[in-house]
Homo-oligomer: A and B are copies of this chain.
Amino acid sequence: MTTSELSDTSPHQLAAITAAAAAAAGPLADTSADERAALLHAAADAIDGRADDLVAVAHAETALGEARLRGEVARTTGQLRLFADVVREGSYLEAMIDTPDPAASPPRPDLRRMLRPLGPVAVFAASNFPFAFSVAGGDTASALAAGCPVVVKAHPGHPRLSRAVADLVAEALAGAGAPDGTFALVSGLETGAALVQDPHIRAVGFTGSLAGGRALFDLAAARPDPIPFYGELGSVNPVVVTAAAAAARGAEIARGLVGSFTLGVGQFCTKPGVVLVPADAGMDEHVRDALDAVGDVGGEMLLPRIAEGFRAGVAELAARPDVTVVAGSVHQPEGTAATAVVLASDVAALQRAPDVLLAEVFGPVCLLVGYRDHDELDAAVALLPGSLAMALHAQPEEAAGLAPLLARLQERAGRVVWNGWPTGVAVTWSQHHGGPWPATTAPLHTSVGATAIRRFLRPVVYQDLPADLLPAALRDDNPLGLLRRVNGRLTRDPVGGAGAVGR
């Protein structure tokens, strides 16, 4: 296994790589569903086959621990295989056919629509998921599934792992018949900026910080030909605890919170960063007890720079007169080590400085914000920034009365969790990992779940095309057996056949 360090990709190398990706785009787009599924399976199998070695390299570079990393490898290869299923299932193509109507005024032609791959996609790997949101992660899997060549910008936090995974994937794809240029890895900060501006690149998938993501988003938008930038940037994932829930099971909720915000040393995009709790329900004490009970919660963060950001974020909050320390210590170790901290404040403070108190601080810290009544809770909810997920802890018997609160949370979140925690993102057909800005840059964006593939596709309509030039998905006889919308009705029947599914 290659485990050499990554050197920065030169502009000359980058130009060759993106030109090769552009050359691969047509042949890759023309592969059949089975061929593309085989590519995804080959990549998954290659990674699974070397999981022991990869996990060792990953642990050495990220300190995330073997158990977590093994789970992440399984998630990564599971994602690749899920997208193989999505491709074979075929409805992601959104095949639609409207047959001609010469009697219409004006006469209606034959119109057949499907989604086609966009072309080469740039993927920016994340620091905190060295497998699942990195070289062969969800962005790569969904872009390849769509039929788009991928150029991954490696994250500097795990260069040897990035190289190793990239080599495995490239070899596996080539072995499974992928066109040359289908997949490449590049490295370097300036390379990343150049990649977003490269004329061959047609879309970008990004997971990372708000500052870095915004800078790249701006580059993508400022191109002579702007391209979609699908960025997942930052999220505080607020949690609301009702008075009834705090009274009935405050200690249990506190234990759940401690488990969630300290998971992976607080380095999840879905970490609950702020919790709205009833002011006089003793939640501060419950959380202190819960943290004490698990002892010295902390660990090694991914990178010295990330630990530094954590310390600075905690210090900025704790230095405020309207913020107190509930549990853990503001005084953090040096280097990459971090220990869990819980801070507390109130709604008035939130209103004074929402940008400070509701900024994401990556790492094991969370802020309890006490609300005294419904009005204060409403005022606090109105300030919550767009987030990947929000959670509501409440008692079953008060559910019906919580519809208005739930409606306000869903306005600001991509996922709404009932009596659970935002962390833990199952990879399924219906899963969504996106939310209003700054959680993600595009409202329809998701980087997890089957619909992530749609980011890398665009519609094409064929008007009056001869039968033998039509893509298989749009032929009268429906050779792929797709569920298609024919004259507005969903059906698997051949065009002209009977038995539409009906509207």
A237 at the interface (CB under 8 A from B): no
A108 at the interface (CB under 8 A from B): yes
Q: A485 CB to closest chain B CB, in angstroms?
A: 6
- Beta-carbon contacts of A390-424 to B below 8 Å, as 1s and 0s? 00000010011011001100110111111110001
Interface pair A432/B444, CB less than 8 Å apart: no
Q: A175 CB to closest chain B CB, in angstroms?
A: 26
Q: A496 CB to closest chain B CB, in angstroms?
A: 16
Interface pair A106/B424, CB less than 8 Å apart: yes
Q: Which of these, B221, B437, B501, contacts A501 with CB under 8 Å?
A: B501
Q: A406-B469, A418-B469 are in contact. Are A446 and B459 (CB under 8 A)?
A: yes
Q: Which residues of B contact A492 (CB under 8 A)?
A: 501-502
A207 at the interface (CB under 8 A from B): no
> In the complex the two chains form, what is the Cα distance from A25 to B109 in whole Å?
38
CB closest residue in chain B, given A446: B459
Q: Which residues of B contact A481 (CB under 8 A)?
A: 502
Q: Which residues of B contact A7 (CB under 8 A)?
A: none
Interface pair B437/A226, CB less than 8 Å apart: yes
Q: A440 CB to closest chain B CB, in angstroms?
A: 9
Interface pair A502/B488, CB less than 8 Å apart: no
> In the complex the two chains form, what is the Cα distance from A333 to B399 in whole Å?
71
> In the complex the two chains form, what is the Cα distance from A352 to B216 in whole Å?
33
Q: A421 CB to closest chain B CB, in angstroms?
A: 10
A252 at the interface (CB under 8 A from B): no
Q: A297 CB to closest chain B CB, in angstroms?
A: 20
A34 at the interface (CB under 8 A from B): no
Q: Which of these, B111, B118, B458, B502, contacts A431 with CB under 8 Å?
A: B111
| A89, A406, A444 interface centre (most CB from chain B within 10 Å) | A444
Q: Which residues of B contact A502 (CB under 8 A)?
A: 481, 483, 492
Q: A96-B430, A415-B461, A502-B483 are in contact. Are A217 and B226 (CB under 8 A)?
A: yes
A468 at the interface (CB under 8 A from B): yes
> In the complex the two chains form, what is the Cα distance from A71 to B106 in whole Å?
9
> In the complex the two chains form, what is the Cα distance from A108 to B425 in whole Å?
9
Q: A118-B443, A396-B466, A463-B420 are in contact. Are A501 and B483 (CB under 8 A)?
A: yes
CB closest residue in chain B, given A420: B464
Q: Which residues of B contact A108 (CB under 8 A)?
A: 426, 428
Q: A429 CB to closest chain B CB, in angstroms?
A: 5
Classify chain A: how many residues form its interface, as a range.
35 or more
A203 at the interface (CB under 8 A from B): yes
CB closest residue in chain B, given A231: B226
Interface pair A464/B418, CB less than 8 Å apart: yes
Q: Which residues of B contact A414 (CB under 8 A)?
A: 458-461
Q: A437 CB to closest chain B CB, in angstroms?
A: 4
Would you list which residues of chain A between 282 and 311 have a CB under 8 Å from chain B? none
Interface pair A487/B429, CB less than 8 Å apart: yes
Q: Which of these, B118, B396, B416, B454, contacts A460 with CB under 8 Å?
A: B416
Q: A426-B104, A446-B459 are in contact. Are A490 and B91 (CB under 8 A)?
A: yes
Q: A417-B464, A465-B416, A466-B399 are in contact. Are A203 and B430 (CB under 8 A)?
A: no
Q: A415 CB to closest chain B CB, in angstroms?
A: 4
Q: Which residues of B contact A485 (CB under 8 A)?
A: 429-430
Would you list which residues of chain A between 451 and 503 have a CB under 8 Å from chain B? 451, 454, 457-466, 468-469, 481, 483, 485, 487-488, 490, 492, 501-503
A116 at the interface (CB under 8 A from B): yes
Q: A463-B415, A483-B501 are in contact. Are A428 and B469 (CB under 8 A)?
A: no
Q: Which residues of B contact A96 (CB under 8 A)?
A: 429-430
A225 at the interface (CB under 8 A from B): yes
Q: Which residues of B contact A171 (CB under 8 A)?
A: none
CB closest residue in chain B, given A466: B399
**New contact pairs (11) apart from A418-B469, A451-B459, CB-CB < 8 Å:** A106-B424, A111-B426, A116-B410, A228-B442, A228-B444, A414-B461, A415-B460, A418-B465, A420-B463, A434-B458, A483-B502
Binding site for B on A (CB under 8 A): 26, 30, 71, 85, 89, 91, 94, 96-98, 104-106, 108-109, 111-113, 116, 118-119, 202-203, 217-218, 221-222, 225-228, 386, 389, 396, 399-400, 402-403, 406-407, 410-411, 413-420, 424, 426, 428-432, 434, 436-438, 441-444, 446, 449-451, 454, 457-466, 468-469, 481, 483, 485, 487-488, 490, 492, 501-503
Question: What would 14 A/B residue contacts be, using CB atoms closer than 8 Å?
Answer: A91-B490, A98-B431, A104-B426, A106-B424, A109-B417, A109-B426, A113-B430, A406-B465, A414-B458, A415-B461, A420-B463, A428-B488, A429-B485, A446-B459
Top 9 A-B residue pairs of the complex, sorted by shortest distance between their CB atoms: A96-B430, A221-B221, A443-B458, A113-B430, A225-B437, A98-B428, A432-B461, A415-B461, A417-B463
